[in-house]
Structure formats: C-alpha cells, structure tokens
Structure 1
Amino acid sequence: MSFQFKPYAPAPEFKAQAAYFSMEFALDQALKTYSGGLGFLAGSHMRSAYELKQNLIGIGMLWTFGYYDQGRNEDQTMRADFRHKHYSFLQDTGLVFPITIHGAAVQVKAMYLAPDTFGTAPMFFLTTDIPENDYISRTISHHLYEADQAARVAQSIVLGAGGGKLLDLLGVNVDTYHLNEGHGLPLAFYLYEKHGRSLAEVQQRLVFTTHTPELAGNEEHPMKLLTDMTFFGTVPADEIRRVAQVESNDILNYTLTALRFARKANAVSKVHGIVANDMWGHNAGICPIIPITNAQNGTYWRDPALHAALVANDDAALLARKRELKQELFAFVADQTGTLLDPDVLTVVWARRFAGYKRADLILRHFERFLSLVSNADRPVQVIWAGKPYPTDYGAIGMFNDIIQKTKHLPNCAVLTGYELGLSALLKKGSDVWLNTPRFPREASGTSGMTAAMNASLSLSIPDGWIPEFVRHGENGFLLPLANLNEPEHAKDDLEATGVLDVLENEIVPLYYGQPKEFLAAAKTAMREVEPAFESHRMATEYYEKMYTV
C-alpha cells in the first residue's frame, strides 16, 4: 500500500486514540460536505482537535454534489442547483475495499485530508462514486441526506461499516469510536461482529452524541428494510431484535439503539440534557446521557482585528473595525440583491439552517409593527435573512420564498442565498444583533450565536439550547419571553412574535441609538464571556475527559 498514514504526534493528555464519525463536516468554504449546524459543530471539533493535538481521526462522506448550491430563479425565489465537486486537496489513499449493501458488494474509496490543509484532525472521506461500482451504487454518495429511504440507509452503512473497516485496514488501534448523531449506527454492528458478538465489548468502545430533541427527528426504519439492506452485516435480524430490544412494532430507532450499544452518551446543552433524559430515560438498557454543551472554534470564527481591539480595550478601534465588517457584508448584500444597506444603522440577522421550527418568519408575524420598525426615519432597523432549507422540505422553501416576497420592496431588508461557511462568517461579523427564534424546546444547542458573540453581535434569542447558559438579559445579550408550553402553536407564535418586536422597540433600538456606549459595553461583555466557555477547545477537552476516558 503506497499510502502511509502518519498523523501528528498527539499531546500526552490526549494520547487515547479516538475516531469521530459524522455524516457532515463544515471544515472550509471550499469543501462542500455539510448542510448546517451539525456540520459546523463537527468542523469546529476537528479544528480544536488539531490545535490541541488530540489523537483523533475524523471519518466522513465525500458527497459528489455536496448538499446543493442555493441559487435564484428569475423571480428571486430560491433554486436548488446540483453541481459535481472536485477537490485537488484531497489525497487518494489508493484504498478501495468492499462492504455489503443490499446483499451485494459495493466498493468504497477513501480520500485523505491532511491536518495542515485546513488545520484539522486527520480526516478520511468515503465515496462509492467510483468506476468499480454500478450506477446505483455510485449514487449512494452523491447527495447529502438523500430523500430516498433506502439510499439514506445505504449512506449510513457506508459511513458506519465502511468507516470501521477503513480504520482496521489502516491498522489504527481505536480506543473510542464516537458517533456524532445516529447516522453512522452500522458501526455498532460492525464492532459487534468484530468483537465476537459481545454487546459488552462494543459498549467498552463506543460513545454517542444525540442532537435531536424531538422523537420525530430521530431516524428509524422497519426491521425488514434494514435487514434487506444488510444494515446489520452478517448478524441475524432476530439477534438484533434481542440485543437492541426492538419493540413489537418491529421498527428500529437509531438513537435508542445507539444508546444501548454505547457506554456513554451526551446531549449538547444543559437544557437538552434534561430533554434527552426525559425522552429516552424510561427505556431499559440505555447508557448514561450527560450534557456537553456544543461550542465553536475561535481561531476560525473570530475576526482578529476585533479581537485585538477587545484585548487592548480600544473602543475606537473596535467600533471602526465593526463598521468595516458591516460594510464588507453590505457589499455582498448589494451585489446579490441590489439592496445597499447603511453601516450606521442597527442590523439584525437571522441566519442558520432553514427549517420550519426555527421560525425565520416570526419577526414578520405582526407585519404592520415590523414595517414601522424597519421604516422608522429616526431610528431605523435593517434585517437580513439567510439559510438553506432541505431541498425537498417544501414547507421551509415556501417560507423562504414568502419572506422574499414580503420584504423585497423594503429598502432595509434583504434575503440572501448561498448560506455556507463564507457567508455565515460575513453575517456574524457584520451583524449587530443575532436573532434566534426556535420553538422551545426544539433547539438542542444552536451554536450560531456563539460565533456571532465572538464578533461583537448580541444574541436576541428564545431561551433554548445553549442560550440559558450564557445570556444575561441586557448585559451580554437579550432573552425573548416564552409562551406557556401548553398553549396551541398559533398562540405561542403570537406571544413570542410580540416579544421579538417589544424587545427590539423598547430595549435594543433605544440602547443602540440613545446609549451607544452601553450597547458597545454589552457587545464587549459577550465577546469576553463567550470564550473560553463556548469555544471548542473546552468542548473537545471535555469529550476526552468525560467520554473517551474509561
């Protein structure tokens, strides 16, 4: 074998060998292997692993067409474009090996991303889109989160079983395998086969992170489909039913099964820790679920000049740099939409993975009040939206397009397409207020506000996910009032939409225009306090201390 795997020498405190499996990684704007927050989180984890010199290997998928390229139709509504991706910086390992999917051999190729390329842990990306496979097998690694159910199952087999086999072929003696979400669950069955079909042996080696605080979002499939797809390798279905304690409906839930095959699991915020234990704690045979709050990598996300001004306590330099960053964002907005925004005007941004429960349109719910807010001649507010819906989530796409239609004639509003790492950084650095309005308690963590805070942008947020661990209202951000959980959704939306406008009109706008020194002080407090508590060195270290050490 010509490929020689020679990662960096690990730091002594992180010498235990770990392997991190994730369906998506956001490592660099040039590498399209992610859709949203799960990938952003995994990318920051890999960057901190590199900076801390942790003995960690990342295992992901090489998506031929990425997630998708978000473009525009003639009427400005969004369009999903799919283009073939090529990456000169990925090294062909020469490793091609078979795994079994639907009873047939499928060849998997491993591509290598060296640590120094983007400053990450050493990483391997798996693809089936190679000449050795038939067309159907090649399409398995075409699209991230393929809509077809059988294709999604096949993708999980490639990531989990394929990733496990790759590490064995490389001769890596893994101490801990880490599943980031349930997508790579076939790894558990690969290890089960490898270690003499002993559940205890798998549990010694496997840990799991759950991100999804609602039952419907945790993937599950009928046992018949999974058996037909060879999801369990050579382990008989009846043995899986017994070991995984599959219920009488004969449906296997990925999260519940991972909790039974792992020695320990974690939720991704303190709030989510409570929710996850409430969701799963009544099930027999599950491992402990502890909270390890998500975090983001400061080296990648913070603006160096802003950070230097904060350290020097140079308010003039910080304000000047913030104005420059707003101008950089607004040049991008003008180029894409023709709307030219003003760097001296309070700028609110809503930007993240676009899904219905995240309620991008909540601020528009009381539309006449919203119009008054953005058109106030003395104290105007500018609002920018961005985000990628799942390409077949027609409800979310409809919401995205509806926001465009409602705001396209407003000179202080813009909706941007192409929400990827590059645009995300521009928006966080160029915003004054970072708006976060999910339905409580459906945001397990939500990390975008962390990187906004690193760049002097104040969170205006529902107290969900990581927010209750950080925001002190009026001091380093702003909290929105929560409706009663037992209220119908329309009533919750009415109350919480009123809260968004109330806090903006009565607190944030007067502070920004009337007390600019106090607004700056709050932004500086957020910058100081978000690190190191929500910087990913803390998170990556906690994983070693709490999850990887037996």
Structure 2
Amino acid sequence: MDANKLHPYPINPKYSKRVAYFSMEYAIDQALKTYSGGLGFLAGSHMHSAYDLKQNVIGIGILWKFGYYDQVRNADNSMGVLFQEKIYSFLEDSGIMVPVYINKHQVYVKALYLPPHVFGTAPLFFLTTDIPENDYLAQTITYKLYDADTAARIAQNIVLGIGGAKVIEALGGAEIYHMNEAHALPLIFHLYNQLGQSSDAIRQKLVFTTHTPEKAGNEEHDIFLLDKMGFFGSLSLDEARAITGENGQMFNHSLVALRFAKVANGVSQLHGRVSREMWKNYVGVCEIKAITNSQNSTYWSDKAMNEALADGDDDRLKHRKKHLKKRLIQLIADQTGKMFDKDAIIIVWARRFAEYKRADLIKRDITRFNKLISQTDKKVQIVWAGKPYPSDYNAISLFNHLVQSSKHLPNCAVLTGYELGLSSLLKKGADVWLNTPRRPREASGTSGMSAAMNGAVNLTISDGWIPEFARHGENAFVLPIADTRQPIDQQDNFDNQNLMDMLENDILPLYYDKPDQWFEIVKNSMRDVMPYFDSARMADEYYELYNQ
C-alpha cells in the first residue's frame, strides 16, 4: 500500500509527527463490532477527533471475526451469548501481510484497511489471522475479543504488538508508538531489536495510557508461559528479565509498559493521582500524568438539541428531548413489552457490567426501592443495560437477577444489545444518567459525558471525570464521598442511603414540582460538558504528550 495515500487529507502542521496508535478495541460505529466497553469508546472518539483535527495518526487494532459477542435473550428472558460471524464490505485489503511467531509456529497476519472517509476517522488497520495461509488454530486467534483462554489472549497480544509493529514498518514507520492499555506490549520487544537493543531508544518513542486501577485490567501472566508463546519475540527469557526487571514468576504487563514508556497518562485527573500512588513504590516507572478522557461530540451529541441550545430556543430544545425520549420508549416497548410514560422521569444505568460499578446499588434497600417505584404521584422509571464479560458468571447472574426481579414491574426494564446504537439512544432519551461505581475504582466513566451532551443529568458518585465537571445541584447531582476505610458493605449502605435521599428529596421534587429549575440544570449540563470534554481537546493534549 502506498504510504503517501494513507491520509487522504492534508496533515495539520501542528500534528505532523506520525503516531501509531495501538488498541485492542475500537468503538467506531455500530456497524463495526470491534469493542467491548470504555476502552473502545475512548479509542473510537480519539480516532474521530484525529480525523477532525487532521492529525498524522494511524490506528492499529484487530478484526474480531465474532466481535465481542452478541447479547441476546434466552427463552426465559435471561441473558444469552451469541458468537456470530461478522462480515464487513467496507474494509479494504491493504496488501500487507506479515509473519509473527506464536508458540514457535509461524502465523501470518493480514492488515485490512478502513479508509478515513467511511466513518470519519484517522486511517485504521485491522489485523486478522483468519486467512487461508494459516492453520485452523492460528485462524482462531482473532475470532473473539478478550478470549477466555489464556493462551489465546497472549497470542492476541503478540498479533497486536509484533504484527502491528511490522504493519507500521511496512507503511513507513512511526515516530511515536502509543499503547492504549498494555495489550500491545510485545511491541517493545520488537522495537528493542529494531532500535539497536536500546531500552532508552524505546523510551523516546513509546507512550502509554493506563485505563484502570482494577487488578483485572492490569494483566499478569506466568512469565514461562509468555516465553513459550513467543511474547518476547526473539529475546531469550533471561534477556527479557534483564531489560524488564521482572524476575519473579508473574509478569505484570502494565508495570513493564510503565518502565519502557517515556511518559504515561491516566484517564482523569483523579485517576492520574490514583495511578501515581498505585505504582510509586516500583522501580523504573516513568512519569504518570493525566489526560482526562472525552467523547467526540460530532458523533455523540444530537445536532438538533445543540442548535436549539445555541439559539436559546427552550421550547425547541424541550420538544426535541421529548421526541428522543419517545424513541427510547418505543425501543423499551419493543424489547420488553413495557410502555413507559413520556411525561415521567426515566433514570438509566447503562455501562459495562462489572461488579464494582454496582448496577444494583439502587436496589440495595429493597423495601425503600419498592416504595420508590410504586409511587404514583412522582412516577419513577428505571432502565438498565450493559454487556457482562461472557465468562463473568457473577456479572451475568446480576444481569439476570435484574431481568427476573423487574419482569413484572411495569416501570423497570432491562435492555440487551448495549453497543454504540443503544448507548446513543439511551443517552438521548434519559432524564437522569445514573453512575454508581465504588470510588475511586472508576478511572474515567465517559458515558456520563455523552449523556450530558444530550440533556441527561448525571446522578453520580464523585469518581473519574466527575470532580472536573460537576457542580452539585447546578449541572449534576453528586453523592457524598464514602469512607473507603470502611468495609465494603458499609460503603455500599452509605452510598445507597445517599442515593435514595437525593432522588426522593432533590431530584424528583425538582423534576415534577419545579420543571423550569430542572430544565436549567439540563441546559447547564449541556453547556458545561463542552468544549473541555469533547475529544478534540483530548486528541490535542495527546500530541503535547508525544512532543515531550
């Protein structure tokens, strides 16, 4: 492929340094199933804004034959997991195919090209091993995002890191390699040989974004298994130990990324502080800054709502919000057979289903919850949505509990298929966007940004991006901060009590009895989320990071 044709737009001189951006997932468009959650949503918005700003960025990802999974319903409405083949006619053959070695077997990696004009992104290359040149086992490497099999996950890292690096070299190379999380870590061992076996040379080229303080998000694997799989490229195990400083049996991917990056960043100011505290006692860790995540407003925000807000036309803004709310109500009816009331408040909890995000926090005091949803004077309607990891049976059990317990509640609904399309519809139709993680475990929480862009008021724990945005009672409602020294159940009780108090004493009286005041909060939220939490700011800040 002609490298000069990669960017069919003139590069802005401010962003001329070529950056190769490695991410295991990208949420680009509903039609392209290459993501699971927030990591992909962030990468997708980044690629959209890189295009808008005409940056010299190339995205490297993996083409997942079966996506993450399709979330479906079983006969009893419990959650089902469907792996269905995805076919994309809009991807082009780049003509680039490179070899990698996995478990001492040569595996060919083919790069498919997503041209910028298709979805309005920087050029993206999606890697696949599902080609006739490979045997069946090698073909399956790129079947499922975050495969539950450990060896498959390691193989995916090798494909992304080493395969992706070789694709970039075939395209003329890059000045900066940006790892969006540590999944592409084998990249550094490839660069080590390419750059004269100099760790310092790698540090001049590598930038790392860490996304979570959660242990599950900072992978560790048996170093002997990694060596056997070919994770370290052509380096011996002793050489890998020597340059990474990992001398035990377990190899920490994030720690090694922090040791090889010239600079790293957390994804909110609070997460930056948490990350610095988390890694401060480890030797050789680079400086960890913070670039707060954001979302691409061109993609996420409703144009008609924004125009009405800019024109100061309250009636038009209200009418548009009501219309979007009706569209959500139609979908709820289609999926669940429940007809929500367009004039009653709709509260939405929707995000990746992880235990610490506490989807069921609002139900913790079941007596109080039942009283809340049975009242008729200030009617409350609640929607849940989210996709648990398909092997996280605790999360699936919680999802199914919400389905079964709300089955006969006419104003509670659990929706399936939480991808970009449903996410957008929920944000545009919600009155309140509920966010209930255990602080400080939510690194960013970007869904609340795009919700605010669409007139949904955040009701939230003070975590992630929220401390940088929220003015309690003016553009959001923020719960008091729990004492993290207390046992988990006491923190949950504290947060539940404050959540219910805030709903009953602040939000519902405002929404129903003082609608003009409520509408001012809606408008403040829409105004205040822009422009800082638009990804143009974020993409610009990343280039500042690259140039340090």
Q: Which residue of 2 aligns with 1:31?
A: 32
CA distance in 1, matches of 2:126, 2:221: 25
SS in 1 for 2:492: helix
State how 1:84-99 maps to structure 2 within 5 Å: 84-99=85-100
CA 1:68/1:216 → structure 2, altered by over 3 Å: closer, same or farther? closer
Residues 78 and 216 from structure 1, CA distance in 2 versus in 1: closer, same or farther, beyond 3 angstroms? closer
Structure 2 residue identity aligned to 1:361: D
Name the residue aligned to 1:418: 417
Letter of the 2:542 counterpart: Y
Kindly report which structure 2 residues correspond to 1:122-521, keeping only aligned pairs within 5 A, or say none.
122-172=123-173, 174-247=174-247, 249-521=248-520
The one-character-per-residue Cα deviations of 1:465-490 (angstroms, maximum 9, x if unpaired) are 00111111100000112321111111
CA contact (8 A) 2:73 2:79 kept: yes
Pairing 1:11-90 to 2, within 5 Å after superposition: 11-90=12-91
What amino acid is the match of 1:337?
Answer: T
Deviates more, 1:111-120 or 1:486-495: 486-495
Q: 1:3 Cα deviation (Å)?
A: 8.8
Establish whether residue 531 from structure 1 lines up as the match of residue 542 from structure 2: no
Which of 536, 545, 548 aligns to 2:546? It is 548
CA distance in 1, matches of 2:27, 2:216: 25
Q: Deviations over 1:425-462 (max 9, x none)?
A: 00000000000000111100110000000001110011
Q: Is the 8 A contact 2:428 2:456 kept in 1?
A: yes
In the aligned structure 2, how far is the partner of 1:239 from the partner of 1:38? 31
Q: Residues 486-538 of structure 1, C-alpha deviation per residue, up to 9 Å, x if partnerless?
A: 11111111111111111100000000001111111011011001011111000
Residues in 2 aligned to 1:93 and 1:16: alpha-carbon distance in whole angstroms: 22
Q: CA RMSD, aligned part only?
A: 1.1
Partner AA of 1:73 in structure 2: N
Q: Distance in 2 between matches of 1:332 and 1:199?
A: 53
- Structure-2-length-normalised TM-score: 0.99
Q: Is the partner of 1:154 in helix, strand or coil?
A: helix
Classify 1:205/1:501 alpha carbon distance in 2 versus 1 (closer, same or farther; 3 Å): same
Q: 8 Å contact 1:17–1:56 — kept in the other structure? A: yes
Separation in 2, partners of 1:377, 1:79: 34
| Aligned-partner Cα distance in 1 for 2:531–2:425 | 22
Contact 2:3 2:172 in 1 (8 A): no
Deviations 1:239-281 (A, max 9, x none): 111111114x332100000011110000001111111001112
Q: Partners of 1:312 and 1:367 in 2: how far apart?
A: 44
8 Å contact kept, 1:511–1:519? yes
In structure 2, how many angstroms separate the alpha carbons of the residues matched to 1:505 and 1:537?
38
Q: What CA distance in whole angstroms lies between the structure 1 residues aligned with 2:300 and 2:307?
A: 14
C-alpha separation in 2, matches of 1:479 and 1:307: 24
Deviations 1:288-331 (A, max 9, x none): 00010000000000001100110011111111100000000110
The amino acid across from 1:131 in the alignment is P
How far the C-alpha of 1:5 sits from its partner, in A, is 3.9
Distance 1:392 1:5 in 2: 42
Match in the other structure for 1:107? 108
Counterpart amino acid of 1:328? R
Distance 2:461 2:43 in 1: 24
Inter-partner Cα distance in structure 2 for 1:162 and 1:344 = 53
Deviation of 1:217 (Å):
3.0
Tell me the CA shift for residue 6 of structure 1: 3.0
Task: Report Cα offsets for 1:167-205 as digits up to 9, x if no partner.
Answer: 111223x11100000101011111111111100010000
Matches of 2:146 and 2:372 in 1, distance apart? Answer: 38
Distance 1:322 1:201, change over 3 A: same
Looking at structure 1, the residues matched to 482 and 286 of structure 2 have their Cα atoms a distance apart, in angstroms, of 33
Please report how far the alpha carbon of residue 227 of structure 1 lies from its aligned counterpart in structure 2 after TM superposition.
Answer: 0.4
Residue 357 of structure 1 deviates from its aligned partner by: 0.9
Q: 2: distance between equivalents of 1:534 and 1:473? A: 18
Distance (Å, rounded) in 1 between the aligned partners of 2:400 and 2:356: 16
**1:335-368 CA-partner distances (Å, limit 9, x unpaired):** 1110111111011000011111110000011112
Contact 2:6 2:123 in 1 (8 A): no
Give the AA of the match of 2:234: T
Distance (whole Å) between structure 2 residues aligned to residue 215 and residue 79 of structure 1? 27
Q: CA deviation at 1:283?
A: 1.1
Q: Cα–Cα, structure 1 residues 534 and 2, in superposed 2: closer, same or farther, change >3 Å?
A: closer
Q: Distance in 2 between matches of 1:317 and 1:475?
A: 22
2:527 partner amino acid: R
**3-state SS of 1:167 partner:** helix
Q: Confirm or deny: 8 A CA contact 2:2 2:171 kept in the other structure.
A: no
Higher mean alpha-carbon deviation, 365-374 vs 432-441, is at 365-374
- Give the whole-Å Cα distance in 2 for the aligned partners of 1:18 and 1:78: 40
Alpha-carbon shift at residue 282 of structure 1 (Å): 1.4
For 1:489 and 1:251, the matched residues in 2 are separated by 28
Cα distance in 2 for partners of 1:407, 1:493 equals 21
> For 2:204, what is the secondary structure of its paired residue?
helix
Distance in 1 (CA, whole Å) between partners of 2:187 and 2:2 is: 26
Q: Read off the aligned partner of 1:64 and give its amino acid letter.
A: K
CA contact (8 A) 1:24 1:60 kept: yes
Secondary structure of 1:66's counterpart equals: coil
Q: 1:233 to 1:412 in 2, by over 3 A?
A: same
CA distance, structure 1, for counterparts of residue 486 and residue 444 of structure 2: 23
Find the aligned partners of 1:421 and 1:216 in 2 and give their Cα distance.
Answer: 24
